[in-house]
Structure 1
Amino acid sequence: MSEHLATVQWQRQQAQFIDNCYSREHTWQFDGGLTVAASASPQVVPAAYTNAACVDPEEAFVASLASCHMLWFLAIAAQHQFVVDTYCDRASGKLAKDAAGHLAITQVRLRPQITFAGEAQPSAQQIAQMHEAAHHRCFLANSVKAKIVIDTAAPKAASPPGSDC
């Protein structure tokens, strides 16, 4: 149906490498021209070899699932003639051992906060049904083993720096 491309690029620079003391900073390049600074998670790799200011694979995984869900939710809301003004999700992922004892993102929790405009306001039941439909249509949610929880009643979690929702 479609193919999606990304280029991941890393260079050793001056590190010896075989002593395991090398930078994990790298770049992700996407076909639209965007380059993203990436690194290993500072929760996984010692701080001396990572950069917390970069996006790490675990964050990107969570963001990808949250983004996919949001895009489907917006499409479904539009189909039902509900006008979405804002959609903000402070999603989180839990890194833990899975049933086989391997480290994995075992759960992703979505916390969408949505405001609607206009005369037609969806009921709580309609919102829940749209989230359920979005979850089942999300290509990424259909591709992973992690449990995905959609928590629309959760209190607002702390915002990452730069977030305004």
Structure 2
Amino acid sequence: MARYVAEVEWALGEGEDFAAGRYGRGHRLRFDGGVVLPGSASPHVVGKWADPAAVDPEEMLVAALSSCHMLSFLHVARLAGFSVGAYRDRAEGAMAEIAPGRQAVTRVVLHPAIDWAGSAPDADRLAALHAEAHAACFIANSVRAEVIVA
């Protein structure tokens, strides 16, 4: 079975007060390929203690769903005999309360825009390709949030 590794590093900053909750949530995310990203809690969650320029876990979840769907879609489109020249998506996630004091990303909407290199599938075939890609997406199969391809 494949294993995936990500390292997360955070340290208390000088003058910050951990016990009082007054500390930065910025951190580093390191992936096995060597990429390092700045991470943070969402500004929607911790306000001024977030690094708004960094990637937050909720954004990473939305991006992971979008990326996985795209990669699955490219594969199923190729197998179906179609050629994709470009693929773009502006994925949006929504947070909602699932129980008193508990929130979750409950819905992710993908908005794929595809440039075809050659003939394009009709609307029904395109919907079927997206459904097949969604069923094949490892990340979509790993979450309970509703994922919609709009």
Answer yes or no: same fold by TM over 0.5: yes
2:81 paired with 1:81: yes
Aligned residue pairs total 148
Aligned position for 1:65: 65
TM-score (norm 2): 0.95
Which amino acid is 2:130 matched to? H
2:26 paired with 1:25: yes
TM-score (norm 1): 0.87
Which amino acid is 1:60 matched to? M
Aligned position for 1:128: 127
Which amino acid is 2:129 matched to? M
Larger relative helix fraction:
2
Aligned position for 1:46: 47
Which amino acid is 2:120 matched to? Q
Runs of 4+ in structure 1 displaced over 2 angstroms?
none
| Secondary structure class of the residue paired with 1:45 | helix
| Secondary structure class of the residue paired with 2:107 | strand
The separation in 2 between residues aligned to 1:128 and 1:63, in whole angstroms, is 21
The separation in 2 between residues aligned to 1:97 and 1:106, in whole angstroms, is 9
Please report how far the alpha carbon of residue 16 of structure 1 lies from its aligned counterpart in structure 2 after TM superposition: 2.2
The separation in 2 between residues aligned to 1:122 and 1:104, in whole angstroms, is 35
The separation in 2 between residues aligned to 1:121 and 1:51, in whole angstroms, is 42
The separation in 1 between residues aligned to 2:104 and 2:27, in whole angstroms, is 22
The separation in 2 between residues aligned to 1:80 and 1:46, in whole angstroms, is 47
| Secondary structure class of the residue paired with 2:128 | helix
Aligned position for 1:156: none
Q: Report the identity percentage.
A: 44
Which amino acid is 1:115 matched to? D
The separation in 1 between residues aligned to 2:123 and 2:117, in whole angstroms, is 15
Please report how far the alpha carbon of residue 86 of structure 1 lies from its aligned counterpart in structure 2 after TM superposition: 1.1
Aligned position for 1:104: 104
Aligned-CA RMSD value = 0.9
Aligned position for 2:94: 94
Q: Give unpaired runs (5+ residues) of structure 2.
A: none
Please report how far the alpha carbon of residue 13 of structure 1 lies from its aligned counterpart in structure 2 after TM superposition: 2.3
Aligned position for 1:160: none
String of CA shifts for 1:35-66, please: whole Å, max 9, x gaps. 0001111111122x111111011000000001
The separation in 1 between residues aligned to 2:39 and 2:96, in whole angstroms, is 22
